């Protein structure tokens, strides 16, 4: 269990949210999967709904503002203490800025970036809202990784923008991203299928197989069959709206 009481260090995946056509149907689905409780926001804030574990925010759901949207995904936000400065680094490194910096009331400042290979991510400069207040326990954020057919330019981009140290793993096209204090905070995986680049969020669970059963009963499809890895037992799921995520019962620390 890790409880967070202040903004995370630069480059840490600190928040995830999902916009879908029917946020209340999403609430029903994710309550069944993770046991989340919810604090629904007002209509003027797009029904931005906090997903809660023990009363603390760990993620968010909202009504998608684009009625024509047909693709949905969990958007991951990197922590920064200077959104505008990070946007300049993104542009200088060859990224794009589809959503400029903006303040969200007194909660924080945000923007959306896209890396040179097409992976989208957010930035979050936490103020009243610092990001996820619980991580690394069942029902909460534990890992994020970029799946891309072009891992090398992605590695160059993220190491430049967020000053990550890159650690390639042996016998697999996978690079672990370490922030300045050397804590591992994410990864980049070469995806030979050539699928659209995507930052995939992993949620910790107490039992991978039982969670897959709950999710499929609630309407999910399996994209990655449950399997054991050196890091824990993982599985890939797609929610009823088509948003992909993964779950893991992490292996005990060695």
Query: What is the pLDDT, as a whole number, of residue 50?
Result: 98
Domain boundary, last residue among 126, 154, 170: 126
Share of the chain above pLDDT 90, in %: 92
Q: Which of 144, 113, 123 is nearest to 81 (CA)?
A: 123
Kindly state whether residue 132 falls inside one of the protein's structural domains.
no
Categorize the per-residue pLDDT at 254 as very low, low, confident or very high, splitting at 50, 70 and 90: low
Over residues 75-129, the pLDDT tens digits come to 999 999 999 999 999 999 999 999 999 999 999 999 999 999 999 999 999 999 9
Share of the chain above pLDDT 70, in %: 99
Categorize the per-residue pLDDT at 235 as very low, low, confident or very high, splitting at 50, 70 and 90: very high
The mean pLDDT value for 177-189 works out to 96
Q: Which of 246, 186, 253, 252 is nearest to 211 (CA)?
A: 246
Over residues 65-76, the pLDDT tens digits come to 888 888 999 999
Residue 94 and residue 46 share a domain: yes
Over residues 23-65, the pLDDT tens digits come to 999 999 999 999 999 999 999 888 999 999 999 999 999 999 8
Q: Which residue reads 């989340």 in tokens?
A: 36
Q: How many other C-beta atoms can be found within 10 angstroms of the C-beta atom of residue 184?
A: 13
Query: What is the pLDDT, as a whole number, of residue 78?
Result: 98
Contact 39, 209 (CB under 8 A): no
Domain that holds residue 18: 2-126
Q: Is the pTM of this model over 0.85?
A: yes
CATH code, 209: 3.10.180.10
Residue 84 and residue 13 share a domain: yes
Q: How many CA atoms lie within 13 A of 211 on its CB side?
A: 28
Query: What is the pLDDT, as a whole number, of residue 241?
Result: 97
Residue 148 and residue 90 share a domain: no
Residue 153 and residue 121 share a domain: no
Residue 241 and residue 200 share a domain: yes
Report the chain's mean pLDDT, rounded to a whole number: 96
Domain boundary, last residue among 105, 126, 147: 126
Residue 86 CA to residue 47 CA, distance in Å, equals 28
Residue 90 and residue 206 share a domain: no
Q: 199 has which bridge partners?
A: 146
Helices (H), the chain: 23-34, 83-92, 151-162, 208-217
User: What number of residues does the chain have?
Assistant: 254
Domain boundary, last residue among 126, 149, 183: 126
1 pLDDT higher than 80: no
């Amino acid at each position: 269990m890790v409880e967070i009481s202040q903004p995370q260090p630069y480059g840490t995946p600190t928040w995830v949210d999902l916009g879908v056509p029917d946020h209340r149907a999403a609430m029903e689905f994710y309550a069944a999967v993770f046991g989340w409780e919810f604090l629904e926001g007002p209509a003027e804030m797009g029904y931005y709904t906090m997903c809660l574990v023990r009363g603390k925010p760990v993620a968010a759901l909202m009504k998608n503002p684009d009625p024509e949207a047909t693709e949905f995904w969990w958007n991951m936000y990197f922590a920064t203490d200077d959104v505008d400065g990070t946007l300049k680094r993104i542009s200088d490194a060859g990224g794009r800025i589809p959503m400029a910096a903006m303040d969200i009331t007194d909660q924080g400042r945000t923007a959306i970036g896209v890396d040179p290979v097409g992976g989208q991510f957010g930035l979050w400069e936490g103020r009243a809202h610092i990001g996820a207040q619980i991580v690394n326990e069942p029902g909460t954020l534990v890992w994020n990784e970029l799946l891309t057919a072009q891992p090398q330019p992605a590695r160059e981009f993220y190491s430049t923008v967020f000053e990550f140290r890159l650690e390639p793993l042996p016998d697999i096209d996978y690079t672990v991203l370490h922030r300045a204090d050397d804590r591992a905070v994410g990864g980049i995986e070469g995806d030979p299928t050539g699928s659209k680049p995507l930052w995939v969020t992993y949620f910790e669970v107490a039992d991978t197989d039982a969670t897959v059963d709950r999710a499929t009963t609630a309407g999910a499809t399996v994209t990655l069959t449950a399997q054991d890895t050196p890091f824990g037992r993982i599985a890939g799921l797609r929610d009823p709206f088509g948003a992909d995520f993964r779950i893991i019962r992490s292996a005990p620390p060695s």
